[in-house]
Amino acid sequence: MTAKSEKIAIDVHHTASFLTDLLPDICQALGRTILVFLQRVGQLSIFVGKSVMHCFLPPYFPSQIWRQLVDIGYYSLPVVGMTALFTGMVLALQSYTGFTRFNAESAIAAVVVLSVTRELAPVLAGLMVAGRVGAAIAAEIGTMRVTEQIDAMTTLSVNPFKYLIAPRVIAGTLMLPILVLVGDIIGVYGGYVIAIYRLDFSEGSYLSQTWDILETMDVVSGLVKAAVFGFIVAILGCYNGFNSQRGAQGVGAATTNAVVSASIVILLFNYLLTQVFFS
């Protein structure tokens, strides 16, 4: 055996023994990560199951449900309305810029109404509400958790799932479709304003093109998506707040996780629901 091949053999042996030493550590780390992931999924599934069950079982807290309907619905109206308005306006402008290259300006009304009702209003409203409401829910419930207010509630014979979680989940699921319906109208109006006053479309033909292309399913699919997104925002805000770790840092992390996880899950479910409705 030459000196060179001997050196290669030694190197191979060293590499092999290094990998053999490292392999158990890698497997252990991988196993731990998978177990933690499965534990979290299980924990979340149980939380969702309990929350849904408490939405249907008495006692109910109508005053809490009403408060959340106002908080989530009424107070989100400006942010959802503004988002929809500017989205509709931008959509009309961008479509015009692109479609003039193909002499397809007449399709602008269709693009605006379909994009807004099917996709943009539910998704953008979901994301805006995740930022506004999801964060507020996680911060409020998280603070209640770390200051033992949730424990205090339990000692006063009031189930926190019924008093805190169920009203927020019910309000989120009911109010987001209403917000999206308003967003649909405002978004389409935004496109209409730009088309009429900026791009010199005729009022009558723009409106008739909008109505002609629009089908019930376009609006219904958007509203169903909105209900799912509202549920996601409320449940993830509650889950992260309810399981908040101690201290200000714990509440901060819960708030961030609530917004980030809700945003990602909304986008994921948007794809899945679109696949279900339109494939």
Partner 1 sequence: MNSNGKQSKLKLSGVKKHFGKKIVLDGIDLSIEQGKSLVIIGASGTGKSVMLKCVLGLLKPDEGSVMVDGEETTHLRGSERDAFMEKFGMLFQGGALFDSMKVWENVAFGLIHGKGIDRKKAWEVAIEKIVAVGLKPEVGNLYPAELSGGMQKRVSLARAIAKNPEIIFFDEPTTGLDPIMADVINDLIVSSVKGLGATALSITHDMASARKIADYVAMIHQGKIIWHGSVKDLDNSGNEYVDQFIHGRATGPITRRVA
As measured in angstroms, the least distance from the Cβ of 266 to partner 1 is 28
Region of 21-29, 129-137, 156-164, 262-270 interacting with partner 1 (CB under 8 A): 156-164
CA distance 76 to 53: 27
Query: By C-beta, is 152 or 272 nearer to partner 1?
Result: 152
Of 112-120, 143-151, 232-240, 261-269, the segment contacting partner 1 by CB under 8 A is 143-151
Whole-number minimum distance, CB 240 to partner 1, in Å?
19
Ordered DSSP codes for 206-254: HHHHHHHH--HHHHHHHHHHHHHHHHHHHHHHHHHHHTPPSHHHHHHHH
Site map (CB under 8 A) of partner 1, residues 34-73, x = contact? -------------------------x-x------------
Q: Does 216 bind partner 1 (CB under 8 A)?
A: no
Q: Does 148 bind partner 1 (CB under 8 A)?
A: yes
- Rounded distance, CA 127 to CA 71, Å? 16
Please give the angle made by the CA atoms of 116, 117 and 118, to the nearest 5 degrees.
100
Closest approach, Cβ 55 to partner 1, in A, equals: 15
What ranges in the chain are assigned the alpha helix state H? 3-56, 62-72, 77-99, 108-114, 121-129, 135-146, 149-155, 160, 166-197, 203-213, 216-242, 247-278
Residue 181 sits in the site that holds partner 1 (CB under 8 A): no
Region near partner 1 per CB under 8 A, out of 142-150, 216-224, 228-236, 259-267: 142-150
Contact (Cβ atoms closer than 8 angstroms) between residue 52 and residue 169: yes
**What residue ranges bind partner 1 (CB under 8 A)?**
59, 61, 144, 147-149, 151-159, 163
